[in-house]
């Protein structure tokens, strides 16, 4: 491609509308343009990247034996009413009317449509297992579209759906997709983690998310520094305190703590660390308020707490009035000593000695509190978010915390849809059974943003090579004024094209500095500069986008390097 014919406009200024770096760079490098909230046009250079992502996804899906089909983007309401999701999906679902006032939606996902296909096409166990996939446009009316294509309203997803006779079959199909996804994200050149998702560990259906690791990620992930363990922070378990408790050495004292409203205030007043305090939170329970007790520096995990017997779900914090009525004190001065409420203690609390807590009297606290002396040693539960350094639940090593962007999700649906939509087959014994389903999504458009979040510097994008819109950019200096440069550039351009290298020839009549800046901004992995001086010495100037310096190389050596 010749730059002069590519119609690419880059922007110097950082667009004010873009909060995160990938969104800024996608606008600046001309990959996307905004139409309306959460709606983007993919410009030619962006489409080149998208097509590369799609090609890798398609190849690996085909290799795993999945069959590509293409379903409609618009779905009749009746289909969604069959599964009850017409009502459950809420405002995320874009609802539309046709000219006959019949109701439709723009598909946010395709379980209903594929199950309708399956119940018509699949009759016998002999047709199973089967896995259908498509690469197609979805619409979700996100409450807060943001970060450009990372959370847009219209986006491209690869979605796949497997059908099996039984759970063992589903397990095998699921594992195949797990392996295909691992191959896809590895080939894309991204650093990623496979993470147990919300329902993964806690009884529900098996589900794992594939996360690209990046600081701007919306999800916090806890992972092992020694093995493959990784979990969404919401579901990572903590274990009962293993360390033996230090001996009680301080005397129990009740002290006035004027103005203390929080753990922070208490620490400042007493000159202690938050880990030497405990906090008591009051939440709504089935029969009145319940107290939750945690170490002062730990964070309550709502997902865990609302699963406890007697605690209301969703978790709701008690307001000031309820707290006053239940404890006779204020939120800032609560503690387990002398409390009459049902109490849940977090595991970590019973490893503590000589700690401080509220005295259940306004602006009064206890210091030097110890279990088995001032209060009995209680049973404990898992109440908090894991933190870096915690032991890996059921695994090896200690936990680290990173942020991730969900780019893929694999999920065992079981018979949820096949039962409500009567998608059955006849098994070996001629018995009618609901098929076991799995669903598997990849955010094709989101991957492009996530790849940039993970790979950029102050000057622009640094494409992982498998995603780059072009493999190499040729930057001729003084092209319009030097016959030597012109001849060499045209010849190299033609030869690279013949060799199947994706090459961009920057043939614009602009200053070299402008060409260099654009090449860095759009993030092409390899850059080759042709100057009259270099060419006379038989050399080209080569630089990889990640290199600090360029180096002189012979033409043949450059070609060899690119073909590798
Ligand atoms: P999220 O938790 O980010 O809202 P989700 O769990 O609702 O996503 P899935 O239903 O699992 O999404 O969809 C499969 C994949 O589609 C996701 O892993 C993600 O990569 C992509 N995706 C989902 N919603 C969006 C969106 N609004 N914009 C871009 N990609 C999306
Ligand atoms: Mg998901």
Q: How far apart are CA 210 and CA 223, in angstroms?
A: 13
Question: For a pLDDT cut of 90, what percent of the chain falls above it?
Answer: 91
Q: How far apart are CA 448 and CA 25, in angstroms?
A: 11
Mean pLDDT computed over 96-104: 98
**Between 167-187 and 44-63, two packed helices, what is the crossing angle to 10 degrees?**
140
Mean pLDDT computed over 308-330: 93
pLDDT classification of 199: cutoffs 50, 70, 90: low
- 448 CB less than 6 Å from ligand 1? no
- 525 CB less than 6 Å from ligand 1? no
pLDDT classification of 200: cutoffs 50, 70, 90: very low
Q: Is the pLDDT of residue 558 over 90?
A: yes
Can you give the pLDDT at residue 235?
83
Q: How far apart are CA 239 and CA 308, in angstroms?
A: 16
Mean pLDDT, all residues of the chain: 95
Burial annotation 509-542 (CB, 10 A radius, 16+ → b, else e) = eeeeeebbbbbbbbbbbbbbbbbeebbeeebbbb
How far does residue 409's CA lie from ligand 1's centre (Å)? Answer: 8
CATH value of 470-563 in 3.90.1300.10, 3.40.50.800, 3.40.50.300, 3.90.1150.10? 3.40.50.800
- 441 CB less than 6 Å from ligand 1? yes
Pocket test for ligand 1, best of 109, 149, 199, 446 (most atoms within 8 A of CB): 446
Pocket test for ligand 1, best of 443, 445, 453 (most atoms within 8 A of CB): 443
pLDDT classification of 282: cutoffs 50, 70, 90: very high
Can you give the pLDDT at residue 404?
96
Tens of pLDDT, residue by residue over 225-267, are 898 889 888 888 898 876 689 999 999 999 999 999 999 999 9
Pocket test for ligand 1, best of 148, 153, 157, 217 (most atoms within 8 A of CB): 157
Q: Which fold has domain 13-191+414-452?
A: BirA Bifunctional Protein; domain 2 (3.30.930)
Which one of the ligands is nearest to 442 CA? 1
Q: How far apart are CA 291 and CA 378, in angstroms?
A: 13
pLDDT classification of 352: cutoffs 50, 70, 90: very high
Which one of the ligands is nearest to 155 CA? 1
Can you give the pLDDT at residue 232?
87
Q: Is the pLDDT of residue 202 over 80?
A: no
Burial annotation 340-359 (CB, 10 A radius, 16+ → b, else e) = ebeebbbbbbbbbbbbbbbb
DSSP labels for 320-382?
Answer: HHHHHHHHSS-GGG--STT--S-EEEEGGGGG--SEEEEEEETTEEEEEE-BTTTBPPPPEE-
Q: Where do the domains of the chain lie?
A: 13-191+414-452, 253-381, 470-563
Mean pLDDT computed over 103-113: 98
Joined together, the tokens standing for residue 556 give 């043949």
pLDDT classification of 136: cutoffs 50, 70, 90: very high
Mean pLDDT computed over 479-505: 97
**Can you say how many angstroms the Cα of residue 553 is from the centroid of all Cα atoms in its chain?**
41
State which ligand 1 atom lies nearest to the alpha carbon of 140. 27
Q: Which of 189-203, 237-251, 327-341, 482-496 has the lowest mean pLDDT?
A: 189-203
Can you give the pLDDT at residue 201?
38
- 409 CB less than 6 Å from ligand 1? yes
Can you give the pLDDT at residue 562?
94
- 139 CB less than 6 Å from ligand 1? no
Q: CATH 3.40.50.700: does it fit domain 253-381?
A: no
For the chain, how many residues are written? 564
- 406 CB less than 6 Å from ligand 1? yes
Of residues 43 and 244, more confidence is placed in 43
Which one of the ligands is nearest to 92 CA? 1
């Amino acid at each position: 491609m010749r730059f002069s014919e590519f119609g690419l406009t880059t922007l110097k200024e950082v667009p004010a509308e873009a909060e995160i770096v990938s969104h800024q760079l996608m606008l600046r490098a001309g990959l996307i343009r905004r139409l309306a909230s959460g709606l983007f046009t993919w410009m030619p250079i962006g489409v080149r990247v998208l097509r590369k992502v799609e090609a890798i996804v398609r190849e690996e899906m085909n290799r795993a034996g999945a069959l590509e089909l293409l379903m409609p983007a618009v779905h009749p309401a009746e289909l969604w009413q069959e599964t009850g999701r017409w009502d459950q999906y809420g405002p995320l679902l874009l609802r539309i009317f046709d000219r006959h006032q019949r109701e439709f939606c723009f598909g946010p996902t395709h379980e209903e449509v594929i199950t309708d296909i399956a119940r018509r096409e699949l009759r016998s166990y002999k047709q199973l297992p089967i896995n259908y996939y498509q690469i197609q446009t979805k619409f979700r009316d996100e409450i807060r579209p943001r970060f450009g294509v990372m959370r847009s309203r219209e986006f491209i997803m690869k979605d796949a759906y497997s059908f099996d006779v039984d759970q063992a079959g589903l397990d095998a199909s699921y594992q195949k997709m797990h392996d295909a996804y691992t191959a896809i994200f590895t080939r894309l050149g991204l650093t990623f983690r496979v993470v147990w998702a919300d329902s993964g560990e806690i009884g529900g259906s098996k589900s794992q998310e594939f996360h690209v690791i990046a600081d701007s990620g919306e999800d916090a992930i806890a992972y092992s520094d020694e093995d493959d363990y990784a979990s969404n922070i919401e579901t990572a378990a903590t274990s009962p305190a293993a360390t033996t408790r230090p001996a009680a050495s301080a005397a129990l004292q009740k002290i006035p703590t004027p103005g203390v409203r929080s753990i922070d205030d208490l620490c400042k007043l007493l000159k202690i660390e938050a880990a030497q305090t405990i906090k008591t939170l009051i939440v709504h329970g089935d029969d009145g308020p319940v107290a939750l007790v945690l170490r002062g520096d730990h964070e309550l995990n709502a997902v865990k707490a609302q699963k406890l017997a007697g605690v209301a779900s969703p978790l709701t914090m008690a307001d000031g009035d309820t707290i006053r009525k239940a404890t006779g004190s204020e939120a800032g001065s609560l503690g387990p000593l002398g409390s009459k409420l049902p109490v849940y203690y977090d595991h970590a609390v019973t490893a503590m000695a000589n700690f401080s807590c509220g005295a259940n009297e306004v602006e009064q606290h206890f210091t030097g509190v110890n279990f088995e002396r001032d209060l009995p040693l209680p049973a404990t539960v898992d109440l908090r978010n894991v933190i870096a350094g915690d032991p890996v639940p059921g695994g090896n090593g200690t936990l680290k915390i990173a942020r991730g962007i969900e780019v893929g999700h694999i999920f065992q649906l079981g018979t949820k849809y096949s039962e409500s939509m009567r998608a059955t087959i006849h098994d070996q014994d001629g018995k009618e059974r609901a098929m076991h389903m799995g669903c598997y999504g990849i955010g094709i458009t989101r991957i492009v943003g996530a790849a940039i979040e993970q790979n950029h510097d102050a000057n622009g994008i640094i494409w992982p090579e498998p995603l780059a819109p072009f493999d190499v950019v040729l930057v001729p200096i003084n092209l319009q004024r030097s016959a030597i440069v012109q001849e060499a550039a045209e010849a190299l351009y033609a030869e690279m094209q013949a060799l199947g290298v994706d090459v961009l020839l920057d043939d614009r009549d602009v200053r070299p500095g402008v060409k260099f800046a654009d090449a860095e901004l759009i993030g092409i992995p390899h850059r080759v500069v042709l100057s009259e001086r270099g060419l006379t010495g038989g050399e080209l100037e080569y630089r990889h986008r990640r290199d600090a310096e360029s180096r002189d190389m012979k033409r043949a050596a450059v070609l060899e390097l690119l073909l590798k």
